[in-house]
């Protein structure tokens, strides 16, 4: 399964050297399924550097529960290789499995499974990148525990390609549980229902694989009813799953639903033609506050889809193209009471969001220093994480 | 490797005037400057190195730490941050630099039981945090064997692990935000405890930076919920290979044990002959200590216990014993956690190694380690985190016997090279420090080491915080002179 990738990586180095010498900068892309995410690149022109051709599993030893793949390998390919071994990569970023592992790691994208398995920062064991100076740098390794040297793996993960083009990734896999059951529970109409769900889960003696609250519009789109609903993914042996299901019954009667509901949830943005996607986050104890802020957006912009990862304190808003920017602007600026992270926004709203963020001056200086160390000529996705980067 | 003489290569500027100035900040009793007083601080938990700091200072408050570091910055004096000194890689050793000891900063600043977060000062002892949050039904999951003494600040610096990291993750998975005092004296706030962090993962970069990026003034950690029930199993095997196969079989089921530890016969015998005797069978080739945790309702946890029990027996376990009560569980764990202490009875010195291999390579590497031991005529004991493939081969020896010490050194190097050749790494939780500098080039290219150096320069452009550790400087291209030194040189040239 080893892929002859040396020539591809050499070609990347050549492209990066050329860009560093003469510009224009490079827009790094994977499968190209999420190109409108992130801030607009600095400058007016850019060339595209795609890792899509750099695919294939490099090493997979099921007994080690680790897998090394070239960056252009799709999540679907990883699923196809690991499923027969009863294993999976517990990452379900929004979009579809056609997305690449490289882009998932570069953007540190997560989905509902982050409830139990954490983010790519918790699942990536090693990376290889080509930096802005065309150097090949490898962080981490292929083992599950590793503290050798400074943690370049975590630094690169979620850096949106601004420090280097990811060419290879090693991830931690998990064994599939005996039972993996998806349940839909209608959210009671009570005013404190969101908080009641959160509290029940906080006190429960188990952590579900996923637990998302979806608003009425999203429930309709997922085909699980027309009212706000909690979808939960419980797992373990049959006895444990039955006990978890019984406990969740305290919210309302759970209905078993097909696991396809998660695939449809991940595809929700493309289904409503959204151009505006952002996330609000806060301490989990303040989930209700950010849920209410999202509901205000949904009230102003009909057909807005909202889902909350209850145990992480994150609410994601998917606003249809028909919405007015004015309906959304105010919610982006409440940074003193919550964090807002943009995924896809029009340039004017990026500006609104950027001006609301209060960055620690020292942190901004460290970030600029790191960018300068890895990409001194600013050729890799410049500006995609905001102006200084 | 024989105990070297205590050198005292004082860094420039460390003199009585500095001692007086620091004493004005922290009080005269909190500055040690006389060589005899500094002897205690010439080593950490690793017996192979002894170097004496130029001076040791013990600030008692955050403000004092800041004032001390700013004073050192203004005088361009190098320093080494130190927690409890329980490190096993020589990371907190200071050869002539100022030792900034943080073990007096022991306040737990806040506990948020609702969100499972705590903010602590760097000198809080690991187990003290778990004790403080237990009333909330929470604990701090990373549990290094030294947890009764080691500090959270030290854990952050080393990205410490422990047996329960198999299920719950290591230190870096539990730190959400940090207030960091950069070596320049500037204070920065990294991460976001109240929501998502966008931008670079500076918390992730700082955790495990071994004191080279500055000092954590406070650490916001994520706490874990106490499991409803815990079951601890002891399985004994007549071959190491069978025990290793049982490990793989358990992990393959999808059950993630809270801990999965292997203890070999030599270690079992040392433990059983000590005051930490845990009731391990001394005729077994290896024992596995397996912990499962979870919910009681519906009998789910008991099902997992039966599954693991059956898998051990199917893979050749002679007996599988489940601890009946908390006392028995504590006894089984004490044998594991105090194994290194028990080994201390055998010989005056003990060197504990730390390496990782892919889990499936465990049987082969354990066999290889035995060959290496025989070749160099040393006695290697193995007690380690089998579920993670994180080995801790350790050798009891007499450091005053130069020949034996040299053989130990060679055996350790061979073990390390074998682990790397098996696709592993040179440290899973102890850090690189001083001890593993020479192994860094086994696993990282010059370009990668240079990237690490340049990252360090962003946090500490003057290279004054824990100088000479983690990255072998000679391996970093264009890194022989710090940016600030280059600036100074350029300034001199132009004047």
B369: its two tokens = 């380690």
Taking alpha carbons only, the member of B266, B273, B269, B285 closest to residue B380 is B266
Half-sphere exposure of B214 (CA within 13 A, CB side): 32
Calculate how close chain A gets to B483, using CA atoms only, in Å: 12
Residue B1 has pLDDT above 50, yes or no: no
Residue B485 has pLDDT above 70, yes or no: no
Cβ atoms within 10 A of the Cβ of B483, count? 14
Separation of alpha carbons B245 and B289, rounded Å: 14
Percent of chain B with pLDDT over 70: 94
Q: Give the predicted TM-score (pTM) of the model.
A: 0.95
Is the CB of residue B392 less than 8 Å from the CB of residue B343? no
Residue A254 has pLDDT above 80, yes or no: yes
Calculate how close chain A gets to B47, using CA atoms only, in Å: 21
A321 pLDDT band, cuts 50/70/90, is confident
Inter-chain touch B202–A177, beta carbons under 8 Å? no
For residues B426-434, average pLDDT = 96
Predicted pLDDT at A336: 80
Residue A278 has pLDDT above 90, yes or no: yes
A349: its two tokens = 């709203």
Q: How, if at all, do strands B286-294 and B229-237 pair?
A: antiparallel
**For residue B426, what is the nearest residue in chain A, using CA coordinates?**
A148
Taking alpha carbons only, the member of A375, A129, A365, A163 closest to residue B458 is A365
Inter-chain touch A339–B195, beta carbons under 8 Å? yes
Separation of alpha carbons B467 and B469, rounded Å: 6
Inter-chain touch A143–B299, beta carbons under 8 Å? no
Q: Is B484 on the interface with A (CB under 8 A)?
A: no
Calculate how close chain B gets to A225, using CA atoms only, in Å: 30
pLDDT digits (tens, 9 = 90+) for A103-113: 999 999 999 99
Handedness of CA A66, B453, B91, B375 (dihedral sign): positive
Predicted pLDDT at B85: 95
Cβ atoms within 10 A of the Cβ of B188, count? 21
Q: Provide, as residue numbers in chain A, all residues whose Cβ is less than 8 Å from the Cβ of B295.
A: 204-206, 240, 243-244
Q: What angle do CA A41, A42, A47 make, to 5 degrees?
A: 60
The domains of chain A are located at: 6-175, 178-345
Surface of B (339-358) touching A: CB under 8 A: 356-358
DSSP calls for A121-185: HHHEEEEEEEETTS-EEEEE-SSS---SSS-HHHHHTTSTTSSEEEEEEEEE-EEPPSEEEEEEE
Cβ atoms within 10 A of the Cβ of B400, count? 11
What is residue A32's three-state secondary structure? coil
Q: Which of A105-114, A324-333, B186-195 has the lowest mean pLDDT?
A: A324-333
Calculate how close chain B gets to A197, using CA atoms only, in Å: 14
For B161, B272, B323, the CA distances from B332, given in Å and listed in that order, are 20, 11, 8
Three-state secondary structure string covering B116-142: CEEEECCCCEHHHHHHHHHHHCEECCC
Predicted pLDDT at A9: 93
Residue with tokens 């941050």: B81
Half-sphere exposure of B80 (CA within 13 A, CB side): 32
Predicted pLDDT at B495: 43
Calculate how close chain A gets to B469, using CA atoms only, in Å: 10
H-helix or E-strand containing B302? helix B300-314
For residues B362-389, average pLDDT = 95
Q: Provide, as residue numbers in chain A, all residues whose Cβ is less than 8 Å from the Cβ of B301.
A: 240
- The secondary structure of residue B287, as a DSSP letter, is E
For residues A154-162, average pLDDT = 97
Helix orientation angle between B446-459 and A361-374, rounded to the nearest 10 degrees: 160
- The secondary structure of residue B386, as a DSSP letter, is G
Calculate how close chain B gets to A140, using CA atoms only, in Å: 9
Handedness of CA A264, A269, A270, A271 (dihedral sign): positive
Inter-chain touch A363–B189, beta carbons under 8 Å? yes
pLDDT digits (tens, 9 = 90+) for B51-64: 999 999 999 999 99
Handedness of CA A352, A356, A359, A361 (dihedral sign): positive
Plot region of B99 (φ>0 → left; ψ -120 to 50 → alpha; else → beta): beta
Residue B490 has pLDDT above 90, yes or no: no
Predicted pLDDT at B265: 94
Q: How, if at all, do strands B117-120 and B108-112 pair?
A: antiparallel
Separation of alpha carbons A121 and A123, rounded Å: 6
Q: Provide, as residue numbers in chain B, all residues whose Cβ is less than 8 Å from the Cβ of A121.
A: 201, 204
- The secondary structure of residue A384, as a DSSP letter, is B
Q: Is B29 on the interface with A (CB under 8 A)?
A: no
Inter-chain touch A150–B471, beta carbons under 8 Å? yes
**Topology (CATH) of A6-175:** 3.30.465
Q: Which of B43-47, B331-335, B465-469 has the lowest mean pLDDT?
A: B43-47
Predicted pLDDT at B486: 55
Inter-chain touch B448–A373, beta carbons under 8 Å? no
Q: Is B165 on the interface with A (CB under 8 A)?
A: yes
Separation of alpha carbons A388 and A369, rounded Å: 10
Predicted pLDDT at B342: 86
B127: its two tokens = 């187990």
> How high does pLDDT run on average in chain B?
92
Inter-chain touch A150–B212, beta carbons under 8 Å? yes
Residue A97 has pLDDT above 90, yes or no: yes
For residues B31-54, average pLDDT = 90
Separation of alpha carbons B132 and B335, rounded Å: 25
Give Rg (Cα) of chain B. 23
- What is the side-by-side strand order in the sheet with B55-57? B31-32, B55-57, B98-101, B79-82
Inter-chain touch B451–A363, beta carbons under 8 Å? no
Of residues A382 and A359, the one with the higher pLDDT is A382
List A60's β-bridge partners, or say none: A67
Is the CB of residue A273 less than 8 Å from the CB of residue A296? no
Taking alpha carbons only, the member of B121, B122, B69, B126 closest to residue B97 is B69
H-helix or E-strand containing B291? strand B286-294
List B381's β-bridge partners, or say none: B394
Inter-chain touch A152–B451, beta carbons under 8 Å? yes
- The secondary structure of residue A74, as a DSSP letter, is B
Inter-chain touch A158–B358, beta carbons under 8 Å? no
Residue B312 has pLDDT above 90, yes or no: yes
The ipTM assigned to this model is 0.96
pLDDT digits (tens, 9 = 90+) for A336-350: 889 999 999 999 999
For residues B54-76, average pLDDT = 98
Predicted pLDDT at B165: 93
Q: For chain B, how long is the longest CA-to-CA vector?
A: 80
Residue A140 has pLDDT above 80, yes or no: yes
B4 pLDDT band, cuts 50/70/90, is very low
All structural domains of chain B, each given as residue ranges with its CATH number in brackets, are 16-101 (3.30.43.10), 108-225 (3.30.465.10), 227-343 (3.30.70.2190), 444-494 (no CATH)
Predicted pLDDT at B488: 56
**For residue B205, what is the nearest residue in chain A, using CA coordinates?**
A151
In terms of C-beta density within 10 A (0-12 exposed, 13-18 middle, 19 or more buried), how is residue B75 classed?
middle
Cβ atoms within 10 A of the Cβ of B231, count? 21
Plot region of B54 (φ>0 → left; ψ -120 to 50 → alpha; else → beta): alpha
B2 pLDDT band, cuts 50/70/90, is very low
A186 pLDDT band, cuts 50/70/90, is very high
H-helix or E-strand containing A184? strand A179-186
Q: What angle do CA A29, A32, A38 make, to 5 degrees?
A: 65
For A104, A338, B198, the CA distances from A111, given in Å and listed in that order, are 11, 20, 16
B395: its two tokens = 């050798």
Inter-chain touch A61–B253, beta carbons under 8 Å? no
For residues A200-218, average pLDDT = 96
Percent of chain B with pLDDT over 90: 84
Residue A301 has pLDDT above 70, yes or no: yes
For residues A300-304, average pLDDT = 92
Is the CB of residue A211 less than 8 Å from the CB of residue A147? no
In B378-482, which ranges are continuous DSSP H helix? 402-421, 440-443, 446-459
A262: its two tokens = 């998660």
Percent of chain A with pLDDT over 90: 83
B100: its two tokens = 């900034």
Residue B172 has pLDDT above 60, yes or no: yes
Predicted pLDDT at A3: 41
Surface of B (168-197) touching A: CB under 8 A: 169-170, 172-173, 182, 186-190, 192-196
pLDDT digits (tens, 9 = 90+) for B205-263: 999 999 999 999 999 999 999 999 999 999 999 999 999 999 999 998 889 999 999 99
For A329, A355, B264, the CA distances from A350, given in Å and listed in that order, are 10, 8, 59
Is the CB of residue B226 less than 8 Å from the CB of residue B139? yes
Cβ atoms within 10 A of the Cβ of B145, count? 23
Label residues A177-196 b or e (16+ Cβ within 10 Å = b): bbbebbbbbbbbeeeebbbb
Residue B489 has pLDDT above 60, yes or no: no
Is the CB of residue A226 less than 8 Å from the CB of residue A216? yes
Domain A178-345 class, CATH top level? alpha beta
A1 pLDDT band, cuts 50/70/90, is very low
Inter-chain touch A118–B454, beta carbons under 8 Å? no
Separation of alpha carbons B19 and B56, rounded Å: 9
Q: Which of A58, A127, A144, A145 to mutate to test the interface with B (most CBs of B within 10 A)?
A: A145
Q: Which of A253-262, A343-352, B119-128 has the lowest mean pLDDT?
A: A343-352
B491 pLDDT band, cuts 50/70/90, is low
């Amino acid at each position: 399964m080893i892929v002859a990738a040396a020539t591809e990586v050499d070609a990347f180095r050549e492209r990066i050297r050329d860009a560093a010498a003469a510009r224009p900068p490079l827009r790094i892309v994977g499968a190209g399924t999420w190109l409108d995410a992130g801030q607009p690149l600095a400058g007016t022109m850019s060339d595209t550097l795609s890792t899509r051709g750099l695919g294939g599993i490099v090493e997979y030893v099921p007994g080690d529960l680790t897998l090394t793949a070239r960056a252009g390998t799709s999540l679907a390919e990883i699923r196809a290789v690991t499923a027969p071994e009863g294993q999976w990569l517990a990452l379900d970023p929004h979009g579809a499995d056609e997305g690449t592992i490289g882009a998932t790691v570069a953007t540190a994208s997560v989905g509902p499974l982050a409830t139990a398995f954490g983010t790519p920062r918790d699942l990536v064991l090693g990376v290889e990148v080509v930096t802005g100076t065309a150097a090949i740098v490898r962080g981490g390794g292929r083992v599950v525990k590793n503290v050798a040297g400074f943690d370049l793996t975590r630094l690169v993960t979620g850096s949106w390609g601004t420090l280097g083009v990811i060419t290879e990734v090693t991830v931690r896999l998990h064994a599939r549980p005996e039972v993996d059951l998806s349940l839909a529970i209608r959210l009671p109409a009570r005013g404190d229902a969101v908080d009641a769900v959160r509290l029940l889960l906080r006190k429960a003696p188990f952590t579900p694989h996923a637990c998302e609250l979806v608003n009425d519009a999203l429930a309709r789109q997922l085909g699980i009813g027309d009212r706000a609903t909690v979808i939960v993914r419980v797992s373990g042996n049959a006895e444990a799953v039955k006990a978890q299901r019984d406990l969740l019954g305290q919210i309302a009667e759970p209905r078993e639903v097909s696991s396809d509901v998660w695939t449809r949830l991940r595809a929700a943005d493309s289904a409503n033609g959204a151009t505006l996607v952002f996330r609000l986050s806060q301490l989990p104890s303040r989930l209700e506050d950010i849920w209410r802020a999202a509901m205000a957006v949904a009230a102003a912009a009909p057909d807005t889809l909202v889902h909350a990862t209850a145990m992480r304190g994150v609410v994601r808003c998917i606003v249809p193209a028909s919405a007015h920017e004015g309906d959304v602007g105010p919610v982006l600026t409440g940074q003193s009471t919550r964090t807002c992270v943009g995924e896809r926004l029009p340039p004017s709203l990026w500006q609104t969001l950027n001006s609301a963020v209060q960055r620690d001056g020292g942190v901004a200086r460290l970030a600029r220093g790191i960018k300068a160390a890895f990409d001194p000529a600013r050729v890799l996705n410049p500006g995609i994480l905001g102006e200084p980067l | 490797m024989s105990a070297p003489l205590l050198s005292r290569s004082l860094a420039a500027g460390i003199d009585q005037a500095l001692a007086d100035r620091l004493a004005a900040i922290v009080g005269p009793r909190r500055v040690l400057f006389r060589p005899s007083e500094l002897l205690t601080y010439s080593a950490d938990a690793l017996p192979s190195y002894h170097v004496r700091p130029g001076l040791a200072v013990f600030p008692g408050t955050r403000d004092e730490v800041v004032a001390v570091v700013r004073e050192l910055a203004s005088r361009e004096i190098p320093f080494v941050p130190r927690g409890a000194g329980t490190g096993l890689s020589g990371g907190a050793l200071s050869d002539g630099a100022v030792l900034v000891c943080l073990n007096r900063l022991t306040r737990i600043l806040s506990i948020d039981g609702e969100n499972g977060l705590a903010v602590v000062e760097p000198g809080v002892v690991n187990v003290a945090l778990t004790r403080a949050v237990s009333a909330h039904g929470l604990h701090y999951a990373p549990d290094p064997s030294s947890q009764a003494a080691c500090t959270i600040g030290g854990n952050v610096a080393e990205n410490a692990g422990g047996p329960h990291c198999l299920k719950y993750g290591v230190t870096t998975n539990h730190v959400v935000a940090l207030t960091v005092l950069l070596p320049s004296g500037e204070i920065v706030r990294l991460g976001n405890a109240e929501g998502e962090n966008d931008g670079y993962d500076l918390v992730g970069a700082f955790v495990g930076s071994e004191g080279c990026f500055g000092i954590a003034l406070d650490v916001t950690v994520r706490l874990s919920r106490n499991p409803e029930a815990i079951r601890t199993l002891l399985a004994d095997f007549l071959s190491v290979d069978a025990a290793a196969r049982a490990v793989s079989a358990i992990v393959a089921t999808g059950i993630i044990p809270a801990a999965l530890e292997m203890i070999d016969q030599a270690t079992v015998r040392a433990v059983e002959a000590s005051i930490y005797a845990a009731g391990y069978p001394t005729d077994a080739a290896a024992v596995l200590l397996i912990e499962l945790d979870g919910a009681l309702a519906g009998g789910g946890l008991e099902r997992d216990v039966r599954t693991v029990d059956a898998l051990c027996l199917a893979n050749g376990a002679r007996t599988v014993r489940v601890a009946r009560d908390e006392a028995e569980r504590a006894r089984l764990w004490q044998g594991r956690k105090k194994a290194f202490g028990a080994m201390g009875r055998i010989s005056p010195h003990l060197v504990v190694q730390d390496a990782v291999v892919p889990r499936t390579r465990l049987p082969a590497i354990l066999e290889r380690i035995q060959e290496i031991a025989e070749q160099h005529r040393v006695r290697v004991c193995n007690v380690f985190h089998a579920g993670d493939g994180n080995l801790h081969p350790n050798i009891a020896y007499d450091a005053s016997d130069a020949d034996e010490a040299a053989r130990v050194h060679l055996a350790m190097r061979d073990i390390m090279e074998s682990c790397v050749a098996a696709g592993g790494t040179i440290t899973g939780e102890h850090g690189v420090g001083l001890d593993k500098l020479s192994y860094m080039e086994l696993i990282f290219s010059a370009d990668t080491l240079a990237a690490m150096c340049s990252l360090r320069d962003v946090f500490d452009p003057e290279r004054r915080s824990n100088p000479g550790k983690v990255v072998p400087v000679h391996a970093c291209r264009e890194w022989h002179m710090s940016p600030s030194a280059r600036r100074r040189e350029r300034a001199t040239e132009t004047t």
